[in-house]
Amino acid sequence: MHEKLNIGIILGSTREGRVSPLVGEWVKTIADQRGDAHYEIVDIKDYQLPLLGEGDAPGIAKWNGKLAELDGFVFIVQEYNHSLAASLKNALDLAREAWNNKAAGIVSYGSTGGARAAEHLRGIMGELMIADVRTHPTLSLFHDFTGQEFTPQDVHLETVNLMLDQVNAWGSALKPLRK
Ligand SMILES: Cc1cc2nc3c(=O)[nH]c(=O)nc-3n(C[C@H](O)[C@H](O)[C@H](O)COP(=O)(O)O)c2cc1C
């Protein structure tokens, strides 16, 4: 049997009142039931990252160190002005090699399921040599949230599991390319 991968569930938003921790915990609960990998929540907010080029805060090294421990990612992506949150883009920009040759899935949300933000993220992942898998659970602000509460429909369970199957398969396949 091969070693279990370390998969980080990355919370993209950092604003006061964000719902990303609810979505991330929901994904982690589903993921932990599988027993096929080590899943952990990685909260960008914990690293207190400066904007790129505006200082050499200790959080940058810590952020790169955390990413280096991981074999794959699930990005929790929220749509801001038809794109991804600036906090996530900045966190992506603040590392390079630590992203390379790893697999990733996306779970997004927004009025149209966060699809526009997710497609922007896919372009960025190409540059960072992150292999983004096809299956992509999209959560609707109208159907999967009730006010500030997160009330996901059952239909997403299968899609989340399929996405995790793909992240694990590609994360394992790319292992020889990682140093
Ligand atoms: C600055 C801003 C811009 C937004 N723009 C969009 C948008 O273009 N499309 C959309 O579907 N939702 C948009 N929203 C709604 C967010 O997707 C929604 O508030 C979501 O909960 C944000 O994620 P968060 O709670 O994790 O921060 C926007 C929200 C903010 C704060």
Q: What is the pLDDT of residues 81-132, one digit of tens each?
A: 999 999 999 999 999 999 999 999 999 999 999 999 999 999 999 999 999 9
Q: Whose CA is nearest to atom 28 of ligand 1?
A: 80
**What are the sequence ranges of the domains in the chain?**
5-177
- What is the predicted pLDDT for the residue at 35? 97
pLDDT score, position 1: 55
CA of 65 to the centre of ligand 1 (A): 29
Q: Which two tokens stand for residue 38?
A: 């080590």
**Predicted local confidence at residue 166, as pLDDT:** 98
- For the domain spanning 5-177, the CATH number is 3.40.50.360
Neighbouring residues of 154: CB distance < 8 A, sequence distance ≥ 6: none
Distances 67 to 6, 80, 109, 147, 163 between C-alpha atoms, Å: 10, 24, 23, 33, 20
> 81: CA distance to ligand 1 center in Å?
7
CA of 13 to the centre of ligand 1 (A): 10
**What is the chain's mean pLDDT, rounded?**
97
Query: pLDDT-based confidence at 17, cuts 50/70/90?
Result: very high
Contacts of 20 (CB under 8 A, 6+ apart): 11, 12, 13, 76, 78
13 lines ligand 1 (CB under 6 A): yes
According to the model, what pLDDT value does residue 97 have? 98
HSE-CB at 161 with a 13 A cutoff on CA atoms is: 10
Answer whether 142 contacts ligand 1 (Cβ < 6 A): no
